Amino acid sequence: MTDAALRIDNVTVSYGPFVALDRVSLDLEPHKTLGLVGESGSGKSTLARVVAGLIPPDEGRVLLGAEELGKRRTREQHKRIQLVFQNPDASLNPRHTIRRILGEALLFHKIVDRSKVADRCKELLARVRIDETALDRYPHEFSGGQRQRIAIARAIAVEPSILIADEPTSALDVSVQASVLELLNELKSELRLTMLFISHDLGVIHAISDTVAVMRKGRVVEISPKEIFFARPETSYGYELLSAVPKMPLIPTK
């Protein structure tokens, strides 16, 4: 087994009596995409937030390479793990311009000098295929798909090594889902990212993952390479999920 880029080790999170994550362990292989599926309420988003450092785990630990991530992360540790949220309507501050949204990320992590921020912002927008006239506009002036691209630009602005995508396409129109997925795939290989991709949509998982993990009621019940999972899942729950999806591999791989 290769060294994991990120290791989730026996993580438990509970909200009062409700156990959201029950001794979850997962390894993210470097430069690969782990697709995490499960029905709503299975703990997928909680796991994303634990990895991003938004929720401290009650038990267990998260390791970034060999480093254990503590309750208070350092600036460098924050920089290395970035998160793309589900709802692009809510993930961009409505009162900040795009220039400010991207610039803040760049300046806070000292990615570039102040004088080069504008140029880097333009590069980032080009990378996610948004016109550079967007810089001085506000999030509400864009469509959902465009906003999600901007959110992706903010996430990659700080040059993370791990990118978590928490249902990044589920709030989007079907017509733009494919292009956002394609963009994420492209960025992943160009920037050599390790990706944790969360979705309840097996078609999306099929299009983007190398490995598939299945969560149910706060537990990881199956981890399989993509080809194996989609051909003959190890668990009956995996089989159930697959057979419940009539439209499965509609989106072409890569």
Partner 1 sequence: MSSAQPELRIRRASKLERSLKRIWSLPSLLWGCILLAILIAVALLAPIISPYHPSEQNMAAILQPPSSEHWLGTDQLGRDLFARLIYAARTDLKIMALAEIVPFCVGVFLGMVAGYYGKWADALITLATDTFIAFPFYLIVIIVAFVSGAGEKGIYITFMLVGWIVYARVVRGLSASLRKQEWIAAARTLGLPNIKIILRHLLPNVLPQAVVVLMTDMAVLLVAIVTLGYLGIGIAPPTPDWGTMISEGQPFISTKWWLSAAPGFAVVYAGIALSLIGDGLADLWRRK
Q: 229, 202 in Cβ contact below 8 A?
A: no
DSSP string, 208-231: H-SEEEEEETTEEEEEEEHHHHHH
The interface region with partner 1, picked from 84-92, 188-196, 202-210, 237-245 by CB under 8 A, is: 84-92
Taking the complex as a whole, how short is the minimal distance between the CB of residue 91 and partner 1, in angstroms? 4
Q: Which H or E element spans position 119?
A: helix 117-127
Select the residue interacting with partner 1 from 6, 33, 36, 49 (CB under 8 A).
49
Select the residue interacting with partner 1 from 9, 104, 201, 234 (CB under 8 A).
104
The interface region with partner 1, picked from 18-26, 144-152, 194-202, 213-221 by CB under 8 A, is: 144-152
Site string for partner 1, 191-230 (x = CB under 8 A): ----------------------------------------
The maximal CA–CA distance of the chain, rounded, in angstroms, is: 57
Select the residue interacting with partner 1 from 93, 236, 243, 253 (CB under 8 A).
93
Q: Distance between CA 173 and CA 84 in Å, rounded?
A: 17
Q: Does 120 bind partner 1 (CB under 8 A)?
A: no
* 29 versus 89: smaller Cβ distance to partner 1: 89
Q: 23, 200 in Cβ contact below 8 A?
A: no
Question: What are the two backbone dihedrals, phi and then psi, of residue 157, each rounded to the nearest 5 degrees?
Answer: -55, -35
